[in-house]
Each structure stands twice: as structure tokens, then as C-alpha cells.
Amino acid sequence: MPWLDVSVAGNSFRGAATGTDCAVDCARNLLVGQSAVLMAEASNPDALVVETFDYKNKDGVAANFIGGIQKAMFNSKEYGVIAVDAAAAL
């Protein structure tokens, strides 16, 4: 079945319909596929630095990350995302 690997994540945001005569709670749900997000990472040999301080009594660690995450778009079209709008009457 294609839906076996679907992960569900939620948030507490609740929207309300505007410009209508009825009161409803609404939410936008996104089904995101594996190819919906692209990530790029640059290699850096000095990305992790460990030094000792206070006469070798304390260790200090510094790390950095060079890269980015972006939604996949090809020829100005988004791929791998389906938006499902849902509403429920109060």
C-alpha cells in the first residue's frame, strides 16, 4: 500500500474562515513526498573544533553548518506536495 510510510505531524494552529457568513474551523494539511524537499550541504574540514580551556579542565566545542533546505521546484512547478483543506462547523 502506498500510504504505509506516511508520517503525521500536527500543530496547534487553528484558522477561521473569513469573508463568509458561517463560523467554521479550517486547517490546511500537507501531504509531503520524499522528493518534496531538497537539501544541499557543503563540506568543511574545520566544521567541528574541540579545544580545552581552564588548564585542560574544561572542553569547548564549536560546530558550523553550511548548506540549505528548499522546496523542490522544476520549471516553476512544485512537486511532491498535495494540499488538503479541511473545515468543520462549530
Quick one: which of 11, 29, 33, 9 has its CA closest to 81? Answer: 33
Share of the chain above pLDDT 70, in %: 71
Strands 77-78 and 15-16: what pairing? unpaired
Q: Is the pLDDT of residue 52 over 80?
A: yes
Please report which confidence band the pLDDT of residue 22 belongs to, taking 50, 70 and 90 as the band edges. Answer: low
The answer to whether 81 touches 36, Cβ cutoff 8 Å, is: yes
Q: Is the pLDDT of residue 3 over 70?
A: no
Instruction: Give the CA distances from residue 73 to residues 13, 49, 55, 60, in Å, rounded to whole numbers and listed in that order.
Output: 26, 36, 52, 40
Whether the model clears a pTM of 0.75, i.e. scores above it, the answer is no
Please report which confidence band the pLDDT of residue 73 belongs to, taking 50, 70 and 90 as the band edges. Answer: confident
> Residue 23, CB half-sphere, CA atoms under 13 Å: how many?
1
The span from the CA of 11 to the CA of 29, in Å, is 10
